[in-house]
Amino acid sequence: MWKGLLDAMLRRALKTDALEVRFPDGAVRRYGPPGAGEPAVAIAFHDPALPRRLVRNADLALGEAYMDGALTVERGCLRDFLAIAVRAGEMGDDVPAFRVWRGAAMARRRAQQLNPPGRARRNVAHHYDLSGALYELFLDEDRQYSCAYFARPDMTLDEAQAAKKAHIARKLLIEPGMRVLDIGCGWGGLALTLARDHGARVTGITLSEEQHAHARARVEAAGLSGRIDIRLQDFRAVTGRFDRIVSVGMFEHVGLPAYRAYFAKVGELLDPGGVALIHTIGRTDTPGITSPFIAKWIFPGGYVPALTEMLAPVQRQRLVPCDLEIWRLHYAETLRHWLERFDAHAAEAEALYDARFVRMWRFYLAACEMSFRHHRLAVFQLQLAHRKDAVPITRDYLYGDAAAAPSPARAGASAGSRAAAE
């Protein structure tokens, strides 16, 4: 029965791509458009229970089957197969079983995303408190674990991550002496850049003990302990006022029920003349659900918001959206670099953990890359303020010669707003 149901699902979903599947009983079936010829990608199922698991929860079962060796790619590569799977997922509304599963998941999503401080810390530890040696295998030298900015297609990963930080600094209009809050500071790379290269005084917060220790060590080694304070702290516990607030790759961990509290805190902490920048993965379509595989194995409690879900709590706080930039394929390229580096060091990753862990992370990185290439995921950079005149009225200050320094008018406005605030 389950094999027949899965066969019907695949025939409905695979309308543009050809795929060959070898079932556990040895039967081989081909799916895709008529006349497609021999598929370039072929997979094999090695567990008789897999068809049932795929019918019940395709996303979770697919990832776990690859992790456990119950699914192997026989022709083509994992990235090729996941590109097909992601594109097939776009046809999910044509598959009755998927519509039923999605409806039930949507009903449960708010409860699954509740992230009070204690739970938030446990969720962060699940992913970010893994061995630091793991992240050294595939991240850039600065350990930027978020979307890079490929201003040129030939950029290296390190160049693109440096370009990301520079782009963010320009959007923040950083000036020497400014008080900056970095919500979700990671291993400290952005805090070091803002303090060292722009003269800012940075408070960085994280819930990861491993990141906290590493970032503090980097700050000490750089001789910037007087300008950077790295804290093991939840954003809800921060007090004071800041000229600038930046958050890169942290909003995905807040959870839908806490969005109002998050933006209320940003509004409370941001100086009247200040600027905030929220950099997050986002959906370019309607609200959805977190991948069950990602939620269980990679980022428990995480959620990628639709733009409408972000803007509603912003509006309630009467914050002014000054700019919204959407990066479409930058994260796909970032993930491609990460996956290539991870695969090049797979033996070292296996020595740290085991072969199953390596397959889990390979699947995670490849699935995320294909989701950014073929699904409705992007990166949002939302610039916020209390006042409309907190930033220039054009984007010229971000590019070309105008990006080198703020205009005299802009500099005067900044100085005036800081003087008023003090």
Residue corresponding to tokens 């776009």: 90
Instruction: Please tell me the predicted confidence (pLDDT) of residue 411.
Output: 38
Active site residues: 368
The residue type at 341: R
Rounded to the nearest 10°, the torsion over CA 215, 216, 220, 225 is 110
Provide the pLDDT for residue 94. 61
What pLDDT was estimated at residue 129? Answer: 82
CATH number of the structural domain 2-111:
3.30.1050
Given a contact cutoff of 8 angstroms between Cβ atoms, the answer to whether 210 and 235 are in contact is no
How far is Cα 392 from Cα 388, in angstroms, rounded to an integer?
Answer: 9
d(CA 148, CA 170): 15
Helix axis angle for 58-68 and 355-374, nearest 10°, is: 140
What are the φ/ψ torsions at residue 354 (nearest 5 degrees)?
-160, 180
Are 330 and 149 in contact, with CB atoms under 8 Å apart?
A: yes
Per-residue tens of pLDDT for the chain, all 422 residues = 788 889 998 998 898 899 999 999 999 999 999 887 889 999 999 999 999 999 989 999 999 999 999 999 999 999 999 999 999 887 555 666 666 666 667 666 666 777 778 888 888 888 888 888 999 999 999 999 999 999 999 999 999 999 999 999 999 999 999 999 999 999 999 999 999 999 999 999 999 999 999 999 999 999 999 999 999 999 999 999 999 999 999 999 999 899 999 999 999 999 999 999 999 999 999 998 899 999 999 999 889 999 999 999 999 998 999 999 999 999 999 999 999 999 999 999 999 999 999 999 999 999 999 999 999 999 999 999 999 999 999 999 999 755 544 443 343 344 333 433 33
pLDDT of residue 121: 82
Whether the predicted model's global pTM rises above the 0.85 cut: yes
Report the pLDDT value the prediction gives residue 124, as an integer from 0 to 100. 84
- Please state which CATH number belongs to domain 117-421: 3.40.50.150
In contact, 266 and 317? CB cutoff 8 Å? yes
Residue ranges of the domains in the chain?
Answer: 2-111, 117-421
